[in-house]
Amino acid sequence: MANPRRVAFDVLYKIETEESYSSIAVNKALKENNLNKLDSSFASAIIYGVLERKITLDYIIRQYSSVRLKKIETKTLVLLRIGVFQLIFMDKIPDSAAVNETVKTAKNLGLFKSSGFINGILRSITRAEEKYNIENIKNKNKYLSVKYSVPEDIISMWINSYGEETTLDMLSSLTGRPPLYARVNTLKGDTDQVMGELSRQNIIAEKTLVDGVISLRNTGSLESLNAFKEGRIYIQDLSSNIALTALSPQQDNTVFDVCSAPGGKSFTSAILMKNKGRIFSFDLYEHKIELIRKTSLRLGIDIIKTKTADSIKIPEEKSWNKADIVICDVPCSGLGIIRRKPEIRYKNNLLDNSLKEIQYNILCSSALLVKSKGKLMYSTCTLNPEENNKIVEKFLSEHSDFRGIDIILPENIKRTVKENPYECTLFPQSNDTDGFYFAILRKE
């Protein structure tokens, strides 16, 4: 059986060098290496812990290393992060095990010269009375960056956009794995029935603030669950469910989902519509369209029609007519999902605004598909007003035939910042959701 520390190294190195997504890389590695439940949990804890604290770990390593970080070979740096994370943030791991196993992994990788360097730094940390101190960092944003492992430019943008209190609350919520939410497919059973089935499999399922949405713990492999395989549940964050509940698609509506993959908003719309009406799901790539088709079949949904199309220019067909609802969930910088994919925060040029033109063009193109009195929802999974509020503000200023609709949120869902009544930004610290923005507009 594979060593969980080696599995953690392989995944972290792949993410570092190939910019792989953590969720995909972790699931693939755990399946391929056939780790038992305990070792899988240990490897996952190291992987996500290192990703969540990379800036902090690099700051600590720099305090003990005579070699600048840019000069440290990538494999060696990844191993140092793994070792330092265990020493400082995993209290149940003995220091000797953290040091010895990291050095052993280095030797197994053929890094014999580096093994002495790694050993020296890790043992220096174990001997230090105070393993690290960031209180001497004078610059506020630098201090917050090191403490919470979020780049300074993102912190600065958040403080300027949402205020210091909201930003601090958000930063403190970014460590640890977020809840896993599932939508119950009420076409195949009710919520209580599904929860009872999951409970009999020792899965902890709890109701949430949104009807039909449950949180899951202790699931193991989702693909192995009968409720998943047979289409009684599918995974979708609470934030998207809040937005779709507010949008409220009805039976016999025609709905266009212009950037639909992986299809969650189309599936939830179909369930809210009781599988009566028409949904057209578009995406640029055929393999993503095929995924929507397969999931629709698993869920027993037959009102979804799929088509490969560029969302900036959806080709109109006479048989479609205009839509009662158009869902416009655009590509974005992804700052709202860094709890799930912590590596996103380290990508270059996250705030370069190159997406704004694409987002705006998709929104304008989507508006052409809305019938008179129909609704248009613009949404992103990011937390940046430049991609959210300002896009909608610009659209409304240039499209006099659209007006905002006051959003009615599900009971007990909290607003965090003051916004127009037709838009809502969801924050992880407020409702335990992904960060998410949506606005609902009506064509006059």
Residue 296 belongs to domain with CATH number: 3.40.50.150
Domain identity same for 110 and 159: no
Q: Parallel, antiparallel, or unpaired for β 436-443 and 370-380?
A: antiparallel
pLDDT digits over 153-163, tens only? 999 999 999 99
pLDDT digits over 236-293, tens only? 999 999 999 999 999 999 999 999 999 999 999 999 999 999 999 999 999 999 999 9
Nearest-5° Cα angle at 227, 260 to 210: 60
Q: Where are the beta strands (DSSP E) in 336-380?
A: 370-380
The tokens for 378 are 């613009």
The pLDDT score that the predictor gives to residue 317 is 59
Matching residue, tokens 């912590």: 342
Known catalytic residues are: 381
The pLDDT score that the predictor gives to residue 200 is 92
The set of long-range contacts for 363-367, using a CB threshold of 8 Å and a minimum separation of 24, is: 363/328, 363/330, 363/391, 363/392, 363/395, 364/395, 364/399, 365/258, 365/311, 365/312, 365/313, 365/314, 366/256, 366/258, 366/311, 366/314, 366/326, 366/328, 367/326, 367/395, 367/399, 367/402, 367/443
Q: What is the dihedral of CA 165, 171, 177, 178, to 10 degrees?
A: 40
- Alpha-carbon distance of 281 to 266, in angstroms, equals 7
Angle, nearest 10°, between helix axes 286-299 and 264-272?
30
Domain identity same for 284 and 301: yes
Domain identity same for 193 and 94: no
The tokens for 224 are 């192995």
Q: Which domain holds residue 189?
A: 182-235
Is 83 within a domain?
yes
- Alpha-carbon distance of 393 to 414, in angstroms, equals 23
Domain identity same for 254 and 190: no
Is 132 within a domain?
no
Q: Tell me: pLDDT of 62 over 70.
A: yes
The pLDDT score that the predictor gives to residue 313 is 75
Is 302 within a domain?
yes
Domain identity same for 301 and 418: yes
Is 394 within a domain?
yes
Q: What is the mean pLDDT of residues 17-28?
A: 86
Q: What is the mean pLDDT of residues 213-242?
A: 92
**Tally of domains in the chain:** 4
| Contact indicator for 311, 284 with CB cutoff of 8 Å | yes
Q: What is the mean pLDDT of residues 39-54?
A: 94
What CATH number is attached to the domain comprising 222?
3.30.70.1170
Domain identity same for 94 and 166: no
What residues pair up with 280 in beta bridges, in sequence order? 256, 305
What CATH number is attached to the domain comprising 29?
1.10.940.10
Portion of the chain with pLDDT greater than 70, in percent: 98
Is 133 within a domain?
no
The pLDDT score that the predictor gives to residue 166 is 97
**Which of these, 111, 66, 178, 158, lies nearest to 428 by C-alpha position?**
178
Domain identity same for 262 and 408: yes
Domain identity same for 306 and 417: yes
pLDDT digits over 290-325, tens only? 999 999 999 999 999 999 888 777 766 555 678 999
pLDDT digits over 85-117, tens only? 999 999 999 999 999 999 999 999 999 999 999
Among candidate residues 218, 235, 252, the one where a domain is terminated: 235
Domain identity same for 155 and 280: no
Domain identity same for 397 and 289: yes
**Which of these, 430, 290, 288, 444, lies nearest to 374 by C-alpha position?**
444
- Alpha-carbon distance of 71 to 50, in angstroms, equals 20
pLDDT digits over 341-382, tens only? 999 999 988 898 789 999 999 999 999 999 999 999 999 999
CB atoms within 10 A of CB 122: 23
- Alpha-carbon distance of 100 to 219, in angstroms, equals 32
Is 134 within a domain?
no
Instruction: Name the pLDDT band for 33 (thresholds 50, 70, 90).
Output: confident
**Which of these, 241, 243, 277, 281, lies nearest to 262 by C-alpha position?**
281
pLDDT digits over 115-141, tens only? 999 999 999 999 999 999 999 999 999
Domain identity same for 286 and 303: yes
| Contact indicator for 374, 323 with CB cutoff of 8 Å | yes
The tokens for 166 are 């909201």
Is 81 within a domain?
yes
| Contact indicator for 187, 301 with CB cutoff of 8 Å | yes
The pLDDT score that the predictor gives to residue 318 is 54
- Alpha-carbon distance of 35 to 357, in angstroms, equals 45
Is 219 within a domain?
yes
Domain identity same for 266 and 376: yes
